[in-house]
Chains A and B, each alone.
Chain A
Amino acid sequence: MWDYSDKVKDYFFNPRNAKELKDANAVGDVGSITCGDALRLQLKVNPETEVIEDAGFQTFGCGSAIASSSALTEMIIGKTLDEAAKVTNQDIADYLDGLPPEKMHCSVMGREALDAAIANYRGITPEAQHVESPLICKCFGIDEAKIVRAVTENNLSTVQDVINYTKAGGACGSCHEKIERIIEDVKKGAYVGRYVTTDMEAVRRAAQGGSCAQDPLAAPQGAGDAGQIHDHGHDHDHDHDHDHDHDHSQDQTAAVRDPETRPLNMAEHFSGRMQRRQEAAAADTSGPNPDHLLWAPVAALIDEIRPGLQGDGGDIELVHVDFTRIDVRLTGQCEGCMMEDMTLSFIADLIEERLRLKAPVVNVARDFGGSGEVL
């Protein structure tokens, strides 16, 4: 059994703010049922003062996930959004008198939900919230940006650390080499300037600047952004990353100041995200991968609908699955039939409904200049 602190146990057995907020004006949803934990954080933010007046959570997950969610709500109630935005996953763990190393990802999930909720309040679209970055861990659908951020913020140095903080690498293990490379590259400062999300405060401030720009009263604040970010970069490093070597802190700060990464241009930066993602997914497509976490449940759903298709003289075969895309081969009558698109979207809907997985379903039998039609 895990060696949980008394505080973790207390927050699990007597959770504070485990509730649905009827009058919430910000929501952050993270995680998924397939991966074993998920959190919905709701905030009631005073529009005048931006003070978080109330917060509620609903969590599917283990004891420490519930405790982390609960602790988070307690930590941020009464804070302004700006203050809350400074909460790191380490703060959550510290608030609970520590978490077992293997459970650090629970605190990361809390911070992600907070990020998502603040972004939601600020009106930042989900597309804008994350930088395009390659998928590293297929088992858990975790991309480079998330790993870089966890490594940077928590000064991680082993694959096991990354597993503990992000889950990436925790299943088949085939991504371990990539994770090792990322850790090395982070130490070398190779990602500086690459991922805006490695400094979420910058994103938040930019967004604030953006919305404030329409509000004459707040304009000066927006104008002062760069300086604030600079200061904050320092605060952040000193407060939370005592062990960071100094060069690295400097790099971080530099990254945030770098005009190239100024997130004000985010809309442009992300406009092609979905398209790039689909291209990446298409390039990634390979043969059957029955060992993938998703293969069995998706195959079961395909089996369910197959008799219907066969009744119409067609057939369907599962070709490849991952978290970004599901490939099938429709044959017989289905191929090129006008019902094909309906069939594919029906499958996508079914998968979304049953597995809570949003992924395009692609018919690889249909030749569209090498890449399948993505619905």
Chain B
Amino acid sequence: MRVYLDNNATTRVDPLVRDEMMPFLDEEYGNPSSMHSFGAGVSRALDLARSRVAALLGAERESEIIFTSCATESDNTAIWSALQAYPDRHEIITSAVEHPAILQLCSFLEERGYVIHRVPVDSHGRLDLDFYASCLSDRVALASVMWANNETGTVFPVPELARMAHEKGILFHTDAVQGVGKLPICLKDTCIDMLSFSGHKIHAPKGVGALYVRYGVRFRSFMKGGHQERGRRAGTENAASIAALGRACELASQGLNRMDTEIRRLRDRLEQGILSQVPRCFVTGDPENRTPNTSNIAFEFVEGEGILLKLDREGIAASSGSACTSGSLEPSHVMTAMKVPFTAAHGTVRFSLSRFTTQEEVDYVVSKVPGIIADLRSMSPYWKQAEEGAPAFDPEFRGTLGT
């Protein structure tokens, strides 16, 4: 059996979405900017996609949607735009647990003299709202806080954060990659100025995303070139993928309810199944406020890569915040920011479901995980020590015989 529970990383393309994009890889190859009829059909397809995206986000106007190549481009665009639209402001507020698309750019800017406020989180991944409030000032060009965290699924009170920013006259952007399609979003009821998301997390293909920019918000383009997207994003439109994104958004709004009920139940079933059978593991993130599809479980005294390799051999795909899997040598910045205990920081596994996940799949995973963890723990020197009160594993001392 093959079970894909890594939907926060990317998702399969829905067959209905694929059907939507195929004509643009075939007959409908015109350039939407052209004046002839080859381009006209493509141009209409872009309009349709724009209205579908606007509908999923609850945007007031379709023109508030700009198509991009991915959420990283959208994030970068939003931040650069704010800095250029408000050149006198040299501070940015963000959170400690953002996606690298935000954090890396912020570090880059920091080296060049910008002041970056990274709002910390508590052990449940909840944002320190007092800290956030204390950073708001007229020196801040942009506050950018993710809607939901990719690793833990923890949802931040983004509409409230946007309101607080607006009260001080500060622009607010949210990276909503993990929120769109999983949580109800209605931008016209909020004061969020900009929002980024990508298609491949909601069953559209990779390489397409969107940036919402509220009507009236000062905007400076990132990509310079032609007049596409009303001059806000140069470059010939990726028509096939944009059509796909539109359809994916439509399907996502139809599936929102199911996400909140059935998929949430499956997620809870998975989590309970694992927690009840495996000793010394716990869920990270805010249990009250999480995206319905995500479960991040920290297993003490084992290392995440081993878990993933063994899961993979059983046909199960998941991911880990452990150092070894990421190519870095430290546990993920999210786990570090949440101060996940060192005994478990390297043993976190994220399971993320999609609307295609079935109960049979979840039960299969629940049947495999306990054995895998027990197996790896039987090899871990720390587990022996934790379980049996054996002599402490003492690397500093190098050799514990007779001590």
Interface size class of A (residues with CB under 8 A): 35 or more
Q: Which residue of B lies closest to A25 (CB)?
A: B401
Of all chain B residues, the one with the shortest Cβ separation from A172 is B330
**A26 contacts across to B, CB distance below 8 A:** 399, 401
Residues of B within 8 Å of A9, CB to CB, are 309
Contact A36 B303 (CB under 8 A): yes
Seen from chain A, the residues whose Cβ lies within 8 Å of a Cβ on chain B are: 1-2, 9, 12-13, 15, 18, 20, 24-40, 57-63, 65-66, 102-103, 116-117, 119-120, 126, 129, 139-140, 163, 167, 170-171, 293, 296-297, 300, 354-356, 358
* Smallest beta-carbon distance A142→chain B, Å: 11
Q: A61-B324, A62-B324, A296-B339 are in contact. List 16 more A-B contacts (CB 8 A).
A: A9-B309, A18-B378, A27-B399, A27-B401, A35-B329, A36-B323, A38-B395, A58-B379, A58-B380, A62-B306, A63-B305, A117-B399, A120-B401, A129-B398, A354-B342, A356-B342
Q: Is the CB of A140 within 8 A of B381?
A: no
**By the criterion CB–CB under 8 Å, are B398 and A40 in contact?**
no
Q: A29-B394, A300-B339 are in contact. Are A40 and B381 (CB under 8 A)?
A: yes
- Please determine whether A36 and B398 come into contact, CB atoms closer than 8 angstroms: no
User: A130 to B394, alpha carbons, bound, how many Å?
Assistant: 16
Q: List 21 A-B contacts (CB under 8 A).
A: A12-B306, A28-B399, A29-B397, A29-B400, A33-B301, A33-B382, A34-B342, A36-B303, A38-B381, A38-B393, A38-B395, A57-B379, A60-B383, A65-B324, A103-B324, A129-B398, A171-B328, A171-B329, A300-B339, A356-B382, A356-B395
B244-288 interface bits toward A, Cβ cutoff 8 Å, 1 = contact, 0 = none = 000000000000000000000000000000000000000000000
Within the complex, what minimum Cβ distance (angstroms) separates A163 from chain B?
Answer: 7
Residue of A nearest to B325 (CB): A62
Contacts of B394 on A, CB cut-off 8 Å? Answer: 29, 356, 358
Residues B399 and A36 in contact, CB atoms below 8 Å apart: no
- 1/0 contact trace for B382-396 toward A, CB 8 Å? 111000000011111
Determine if A59 and B379 form an interchain contact, defined as CB atoms under 8 angstroms apart: yes
B398 to chain A: which residues have CB within 8 Å?
28-30, 116, 119-120, 126, 129
The total of Cβ contacts below 8 Å across the A-B interface reads: 136
- Residues of A contacting B341 in the complex (Cβ-Cβ under 8 angstroms): 297, 354
| Chain B residues within 8 Å of A38, by CB | 381-382, 393, 395
CB < 8 Å neighbour of B393 from A29, A140, A171, A297: A29
Contact B331 A36 (CB under 8 A): yes
Cα distance A71–B328 in the bound complex, in angstroms: 24
| B residues near A31, Cβ cutoff 8 Å | 395
Cβ–Cβ < 8 Å partners of B324 in chain A: 36-37, 61-63, 65, 103
- Binary interface encoding of chain B residues 348-391 relative to chain A, with 1 for a CB under 8 A from any of its CBs, else 0: 00000000000000000000000000000011111110000000
A63 to B, closest residue via Cβ: B309
Identity of the chain B residue whose Cβ is nearest the Cβ of A18 in the assembled complex:
B379
Write out the residue numbers on chain A whose beta carbons fall within 8 Å of the beta carbon of B397.
Answer: 29, 126, 358
Can you list the 8 inter-chain pairs with the closest CB atoms, starting with the nearest? A120-B399, A170-B329, A62-B324, A62-B305, A58-B381, A40-B381, A116-B398, A60-B380
Contact check, B384 vs A20: say whether CB atoms are below 8 A apart.
yes
CB of A59 within 8 A of CB of B380, answer yes
Q: Does B336 contact A (CB under 8 A)?
A: yes
Residue of A at shortest CB range from B331? Answer: A36
Q: Is B346 an interface residue (CB 8 A)?
A: yes
A26 to B397, CA, bound (A): 13
- B113 interface hit (Cβ, 8 Å): no
Kindly list chain A residues whose C-beta atoms are within 8 Å of the C-beta of B384.
Answer: 20, 58
Query: Does B302 lie within 8 Å of A60, measured CB to CB?
Result: yes
Taking the nearest CB of chain A, how far is it from the CB of B125, in angstroms? 14
CA distance A66 to B305 in the complex (A): 11
A125 → chain B closest CB, angstroms: 9
A140 and B301 contact, Cβ closer than 8 Å, known pairs A30-B398, A38-B381, A62-B324: no
Question: In the assembled complex, which residues on chain A have CB atoms less than 8 Å from the CB atom of B304?
Answer: 62
Of the residues A37, A139, A293, A354, contact of B303 by C-beta under 8 Å: A37
Beta-carbon contact of A13 and B313 below 8 Å: yes
Say yes or no: A293 contacts B330, CB within 8 Å: yes
CB < 8 Å neighbour of A170 from B312, B328, B400: B328
Q: Which residues of A contact B15 (CB under 8 A)?
A: none
Q: Which residue of A lies closest to B403 (CB)?
A: A27
One digit per residue, 1 when the CB lies within 8 angstroms of any chain A CB and 0 when it does not, for chain B 142-176 equals 00000000000000000000000000000000000
- Whether B399 lies near A59 (C-beta < 8 A) is no
Nearest-neighbour CB distance to chain A for B100, whole angstroms, equals 15
Shortest distance between the CB of B371 and any CB in chain A (Å): 13
The answer to whether the Cβ of B327 comes within 8 Å of any Cβ in the partner chain is yes
B343 interface contact, C-beta 8 A: yes
Distance from A10 Cβ to chain B, minimum over Cβ atoms (Å): 12
How far, in Å, is B273 (CB) from chain A's closest CB? 24
Pair B331/A30 contact, Cβ less than 8 Å? no
CB distance from A162 to the nearest CB of B (A): 12
What are the residues of chain B within 8 A of A20 when measuring CB–CB?
384
Contacts of A171 in B (CB 8 A): 328-330
Q: Once the chains bind, are B342 and A355 in contact (CB under 8 Å)?
A: yes
Give the residues from 315 to 345 in chain B that come closer than 8 angstroms, CB to CB, to chain A.
322-325, 327-331, 336, 339, 341-343
A325 to B137, CA, bound (A): 38
Contact B399 A126 (CB under 8 A): yes
B400 — which chain A residues lie within 8 A by C-beta? 27, 29
Complex formed: what's the CA distance from A34 to B383 in Å?
Answer: 14
User: Which of B324, B394, B395 has the most CB atoms of chain A within a 10 A radius of its CB?
Assistant: B395
B382 pairs with A36, CB closer than 8 A: no
Please report the C-alpha to C-alpha distance between residue A62 and residue B309 in the assembled complex, in whole angstroms.
9
CA distance A289 to B361 in the complex (A): 45
Q: How far is the CA of A117 from the CA of B336 in the complex (A)?
A: 33
Closest A residue by C-beta to B377: A60
B 294-310 binary contact with A (CB < 8 Å = 1; else 0): 00000001111110011
The answer to whether A36 and B379 touch across the interface, beta carbons within 8 angstroms, is: no
